[in-house]
């Protein structure tokens, strides 16, 4: 067993943070590279952990394989569901602690973590707890003498590599459906935010899961993540993160033709037509890019406004941004809307895009610099009059930075909206019902929000077109993503 580390959270909660790797229901020492987890609010070190080495990844995969071949596969689906229900209740019991941990090492506001991420995680576990015994195949009569039926079977050992922007919720989106379908798991949390995932191991034990069903291996992407993605005894890789890393994971996964689900980057457009309810459009366009410090894969980071209402929109959007900017600060303060970016690397990256935007001639309506002198805070930054060739319009920034420009016709804005290698989400603002649905169809994206932004729901498929990913998470779609079909042909006759 590894020693637990005492952590005192800013809101007064104290807890024992497990360290090491969680394999076979025990915390064991890791042998890989060390990495440090920071508090982004203060730039202070929280803890230095040792990550999983390639040999550690082998150990975790072997544990997951033993569990898959053994005890776990012998459980009835209804028993898997019962374990998932138990786990959901433990998450609910520890909701305040888990939300505090995510707020601490990620920098997101506690109220978002508690009211958003952790509530969603609880619901996701309950949804898939209920789904465990409702996974069904089909029966197909192929002729009068033959019958075929299709079994939906688990894939086996699933490697899951998750990012830092919704640490616990990304775990929930991946772990819950994989377990409901009868798979076993090796989960690699992001090196910036591994604490709540490591703590989750305790809940796995308490819920009563057999050893090896869920294994958790913090570590660096290019070591532990890469080893997991390329491992010959892993059957699936599910990943959320950047498109560049998604591409490299896909290459690693080619080693044994793993099943893959990739949920990658985006540069999603909001389209505001002149017949939109302007105040509503401003509100949703603002939250669509500024929520979670702009660190959302579906962030609507390009806004196209019809020329007739462009100036009015800019004035209202700037006003809204100014008002929200008064609520930058300590994530644990109840009024805080915007905390710090997750890491020094992300902080530097976002600031360099802001510089790039200024150099390229975009007009700064708000922000344009870091906020304060401590931590990784950035002023919400609004660029107007941007053009399609600018880097800030083309590339994912993943920060509180938006590029606004105008259009005159529907055809023009659809062409602009689709002029990107990404295709994750899009928002359309109009009061005309036919226009809304027509435009929704023409947008090349996995998700479209009408008079809204940032929507996701555990029952609805989540994922992207083009370079935004492969496959879908959540809903019934995730059950397909974590099973494979086996066709069984039955001969009812006697003739060849």
HSE of 439, CA atoms in CB hemisphere, 13 A: 30
- Choose the binding region for ligand NAI from 115-123, 199-207, 238-246, 474-482 (rule: CB under 6 A): 238-246
**Binding residue for ligand NAI, selected from 95, 108, 188, 406, defined by CB under 6 A:** 188
Contact 269, 302 (CB under 8 A): yes
Q: To the nearest whole angstrom, how small is the minimum distance from the Cβ of residue 167 to ligand NAI?
A: 10
**Residue 34 exposed, middle or buried by CB count within 10 Å (0-12, 13-18, 19+):** exposed
263 belongs to the catalytic site: yes
Q: To the nearest whole angstrom, how small is the minimum distance from the Cβ of residue 182 to ligand NAI?
A: 25
Q: Which residue among the candidates 191, 263, 396, 473 is catalytic per the annotation?
A: 263
The string of DSSP letters for 374-411 reads SSS-B--EEEES--TTSHHHHS---SSEEEEEEESSHH
Contact 38, 343 (CB under 8 A): yes
Residues 281-310 interacting with ligand NAI (rule: CB under 6 A):
297
Instruction: Give the tokens for residue 91.
Output: 């998450």
Instruction: Check residue 191 for interaction with ligand NAI (CB under 6 A).
Output: yes
Rounded CA-CA distance 186/168 in Å is 15
Q: Which residues contact 438 (CB under 8 A, 6 or more apart)?
A: none
**Whose structure tokens read 């688990």?**
154
Q: Sketch the per residue contact string, 21 through 40, with ligand NAI: x for CB under 6 A, - otherwise.
A: --------------------
Q: Sketch the per residue contact string, 192 through 221, with ligand NAI: x for CB under 6 A, - otherwise.
A: -----------------------------x
**Binding residue for ligand NAI, selected from 249, 281, 309, 382, defined by CB under 6 A:** 249
Q: To the nearest whole angstrom, how small is the minimum distance from the Cβ of residue 225 to ligand NAI?
A: 2
Site size toward ligand NAI (CB under 6 A) is 26
HSE of 97, CA atoms in CB hemisphere, 13 A: 18
Contact 201, 21 (CB under 8 A): no
137 in helix, strand or coil?
A: coil
Instruction: Check residue 401 for interaction with ligand NAI (CB under 6 A).
Output: no
Other CB atoms within 10 A of residue 107 CB? 30
Q: Sketch the per residue contact string, 381 through 400, with ligand NAI: x for CB under 6 A, - otherwise.
A: ---------------x-x--
Contact 404, 306 (CB under 8 A): no
Instruction: Check residue 225 for interaction with ligand NAI (CB under 6 A).
Output: yes
Instruction: Check residue 7 for interaction with ligand NAI (CB under 6 A).
Output: no
Instruction: Check residue 165 for interaction with ligand NAI (CB under 6 A).
Output: yes
Residue closer to ligand NAI (CB basis): 102 or 330: 102
Q: To the nearest whole angstrom, how small is the minimum distance from the Cβ of residue 468 to ligand NAI?
A: 8
Rounded CA-CA distance 389/251 in Å is 30
Instruction: Check residue 240 for interaction with ligand NAI (CB under 6 A).
Output: yes
Q: Which residues contact 266 (CB under 8 A, 6 or more apart)?
A: 297, 298, 299, 301, 396, 422, 423, 424, 425, 464, 468
Instruction: Check residue 185 for interaction with ligand NAI (CB under 6 A).
Output: no
- Choose the binding region for ligand NAI from 51-59, 141-149, 174-182, 186-194 (rule: CB under 6 A): 186-194
- Choose the binding region for ligand NAI from 50-58, 97-105, 223-231, 319-327 (rule: CB under 6 A): 223-231
**Binding residue for ligand NAI, selected from 98, 158, 264, 354, defined by CB under 6 A:** 264
**Whose structure tokens read 């509180």?**
400
Residue 460 is given by DSSP the state: S
Instruction: Give the tokens for residue 479.
Output: 């059950």
Residues 325-384 interacting with ligand NAI (rule: CB under 6 A):
346, 349
Instruction: Give the tokens for residue 22.
Output: 């969680």
Residue closer to ligand NAI (CB basis): 296 or 414: 296
Instruction: Check residue 108 for interaction with ligand NAI (CB under 6 A).
Output: no
Rounded CA-CA distance 79/133 in Å is 9
Residues 424-483 interacting with ligand NAI (rule: CB under 6 A):
none
What residue ranges bind ligand NAI (CB under 6 A)? Answer: 161-163, 165, 188, 190-191, 221-222, 225-226, 229, 240-242, 245, 248-249, 263-265, 297, 346, 349, 396, 398
Q: Which residues are catalytic?
A: 263
């Amino acid at each position: 067993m590894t020693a637990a580390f005492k952590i005192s959270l800013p809101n007064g909660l104290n807890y024992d943070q497990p360290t090491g790797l969680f394999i076979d229901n025990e915390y064991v020492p890791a042998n890989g590279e060390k990495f440090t987890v920071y508090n982004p609010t203060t730039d202070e070190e929280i803890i230095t952990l040792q990550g999983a080495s390639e040999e550690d990844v082998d150990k975790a995969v072997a544990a997951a394989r033993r569990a898959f071949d053994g005890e776990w596969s012998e459980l009835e689906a209804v028993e898997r569901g019962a374990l998932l229900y138990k786990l959901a209740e433990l998450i609910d019991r520890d909701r305040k602690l888990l939300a505090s941990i995510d707020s601490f090492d990620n920098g997101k506001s506690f109220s978002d973590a508690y009211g958003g991420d952790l509530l969603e995680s609880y619901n996701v576990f309950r949804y898939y707890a209920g789904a465990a015994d409702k996974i069904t195949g089909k029966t197909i009569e192929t002729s009068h003498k033959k019958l075929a039926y299709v079994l939906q079977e688990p894939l086996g050992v699933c490697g899951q590599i998750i990012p830092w922007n919704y640490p616990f919720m990304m775990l929930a989106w991946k772990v819950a459906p994989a377990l409901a379908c009868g798979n076993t798991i090796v989960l690699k949390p992001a090196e910036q935010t591994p604490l709540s995932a490591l703590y989750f191991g305790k809940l796995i034990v308490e819920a009563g899961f057999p050893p090896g069903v869920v294994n958790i291996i913090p570590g660096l992407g290019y070591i532990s993540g890469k080893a997991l993605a390329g491992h010959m005894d892993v059957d699936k890789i599910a990943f959320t993160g950047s498109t560049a890393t998604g591409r490299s994971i896909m290459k690693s996964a080619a080693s044994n033709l793993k099943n893959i689900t990739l949920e990658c980057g985006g540069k999603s457009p909001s389209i505001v037509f002149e017949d939109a309810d302007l105040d509503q459009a401003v509100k949703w366009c603002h939250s669509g890019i500024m929520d979670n410090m702009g660190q959302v894969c579906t962030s609507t980071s390009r806004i196209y406004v019809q020329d007739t209402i462009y100036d009015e929109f800019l004035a209202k959007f700037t006003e809204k941004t100014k008002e929200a900017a008064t609520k930058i600060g300590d994530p644990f303060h109840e009024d805080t809307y915007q905390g710090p970016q997750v890491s020094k690397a992300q902080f530097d990256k976002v600031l360099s895009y802001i510089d790039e935007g200024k150099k390229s001639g975009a007009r700064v309506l708000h922000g344009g610099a870091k906020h304060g002198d401590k931590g990784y805070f950035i002023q919400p930054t609004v660029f107007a009059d941007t053009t399609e060739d600018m880097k800030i319009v083309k590339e994912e920034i993943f920060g509180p930075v938006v590029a606004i420009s105008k259009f005159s016709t529907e055809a023009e804005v659809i062409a602009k909206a689709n002029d990107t290698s990404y295709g994750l989400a899009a928002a359309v603002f109009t009061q005309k019902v036919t226009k809304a649905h027509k435009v929704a169809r023409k947008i090349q994206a996995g998700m479209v929000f009408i008079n809204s932004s940032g929507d996701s729901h555990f029952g609805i498929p989540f994922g992207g077109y083009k370079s935004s990913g492969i496959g879908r998470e959540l809903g019934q779609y995730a059950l397909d993503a974590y099973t494979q079909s086996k066709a069984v042909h039955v001969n009812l006759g006697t003739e060849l």
